[in-house]
Structures are given as structure tokens and as C-alpha cells.
A = this chain, B = another copy of it.
């Protein structure tokens, strides 16, 4: 079996295994020690690779983590978007309930919180998150709202970008500040209220 790349299949497989191990190690570690104390050395040690392997592929720990998170989300909702059953309310509630599950799962929540805190303390890092994570994540909602708009279910003049902020901002606020618990009831009520703002006049 011939490889179309310069590398042999064996090298590619080994590289892919190392890459996966590095991304997973970076997620685990940032959840355990926080962003500030995370080091390339510790990631290399946990992943069982040499430091130089990481530096060959990524310029910084921020770059490793961004790839790690992007890989997580690429593999599911970003690629497929929010399912369109024709029932906007049901679809939004389903995706937000799944998001509640995700944000109450420590294996996802702890690293994501560490990354969010690092971004809140560093506008340049935050701009990278916005481009790589928040922007694409919000775009998934905008696409589902656009489909509903084309189906005449939401106001034809609705600003879909602001509408997405209206839907996701309260979730983010509860999460980041621990203001109130993230529950199915909360996201159901949030969708109900937001849809009243989105409805055709």
C-alpha cells in the first residue's frame, strides 16, 4: 500500500498516534493544573513523547490546546451542525441539553474552563479562541436559525448573529460565574423565551 505523502504509512501512523496522545494529554493536564502551570514538558511526559516532537508541530501550549479543543468539537457538532427536524424549538432544546451534559462532565468542563480563564486574562489568546472555537461554535447555531428563517419560522429581519448571542450568552454567564446551575429546565426555558424574540412579527 503506497502512501501519497512523503512519509511512509508506518511513520504516518506513528505520527498520528503521537499527535492524538499529545492532544489528549494537554486536555487532561490543563484540567488538572490550570493553564498557567501547564508546561510543554509535562504534556510530553504524559503523552510519552519527546519535547521536541511537540515543538516540531506547535509553537506554544496555547496552540496545542486550541488544536485539542478544535479536534473535540470538529468530530461532532461543528461538522454536522445542529440537526434540522423542522422543529426549531425541539432542535435547540436537544442541542442545548447535550451542551448541559458536556458542561457538567468534568473531563470536558475542567480543561475548557481552564482555557476560558486563560482567554479572559489574555485578549490575544481570546482572539484565537474566538476565531477557532467560539466563532465556529456560534456559526452552527446561526446556520440552524437561518434554515428556520428560510422556512418562515423566525422573523425574516432577525439578526442571526445577535440571536445566537441571546441564546448562548446566558448559558455562558451561568457557566463561567457559577451563578446558577446548568440544567435541562434552564435551557428549555431559555429556548422558549428566546424563540419569542425570534418569532415572525
Contacts and interface: CB of A to CB of B under 8 A. Distances in A.
Interface of A: 34, 113, 116-117, 119-121, 123, 126-127, 129-130, 134, 159, 162-163, 165-166, 168-174, 176-179, 186, 189-190, 193-194, 196-197, 199
A186 B161 CA distance: 11
Contact of A127 (B123, B171, B178, B186): B178
Contact of A159 (B120, B163, B176, B189): B189
Nearest to A170: B169
A190 B166 contact: yes
A177 B121 contact: no
A171 B170 CA distance: 9
Report copies per complex. 2
Contacts of A120: 113, 116-117, 120, 176-178
A177 B130 contact: yes
A135 to B, nearest CB: 8
B177 A134 contact: yes
A165 B113 CA distance: 20
A190 B134 CA distance: 19
A154 to B, nearest CB: 11
B163 A193 contact: yes
20 contacts: A113-B121, A116-B120, A116-B177, A119-B177, A120-B177, A120-B178, A123-B178, A126-B177, A134-B177, A159-B189, A159-B193, A162-B170, A162-B186, A165-B174, A169-B170, A169-B171, A169-B173, A194-B197, A196-B197, A196-B199
